[in-house]
Structure 1
């Protein structure tokens, strides 16, 4: 998931599910997420992609990619972008609050620098796995060399005794 990146999982084109709010609401009782929320408008008018934001079609909720992946205990977490956010009426302050939170910035910058320098935990584990595979291949190659040598020389795998006192 990390190597594919958040943009692969964003689902920024939808389809976005409607959420119905119970009770009287001056803003309306139905809301849904729009594609515009996936872009941040800068003061100079430029729009940049919020690459951290992903929408789950199956759960019909919005998540923060890095915070969701790297949060330690998701059950005790207070951020709705880790457990899933679908209160579309409150997107305006909540998205920017999460985007500017120290927790999010630390997780996102760590992920970006790790991917850029190719030094993520997954990369390290992959290197260790490759070393283990190489070691086992070398052992297997030596065993095959031994078997071929014994077969060419017509020798048995074990020593043998041909005296009368030896019993199998």
Structure 2
């Protein structure tokens, strides 16, 4: 039966060298006391142990890279949910008032772009969510903007059957 050092197997750098308990492990049960003693004092083991404990601490405090990425994903989901809620409300408003949606152009801040886009522009003056969305569209930070005629038609269709 082989014996390995848990933290050295998982947390040592590949080019950090090898010890008897990392690669390939040890089967020398007669001398295991001396092997363990020497291994526990090795620089490789001390660095690996420190990396293991630092990871454990970061996991407990929620300070891992993954948590930061997950937080950013949640923020982006919240943003897009708010944008869609605003757009759905605008579609419902225009539909209830029997108002035309589109004009002759489909570009923000252009003449004759229709009631839907004019409503988006108007809300961007006062609402931080729509203001941020319009800024992203104008600065071409996003190619997905949900302001085109296809999404308008989809939102109308969904609104008719829900």
Q: Normalising by the residue count of structure 2, what TM-score does the alignment of the two structures yield? A: 0.47
Higher-helix-fraction structure? 2
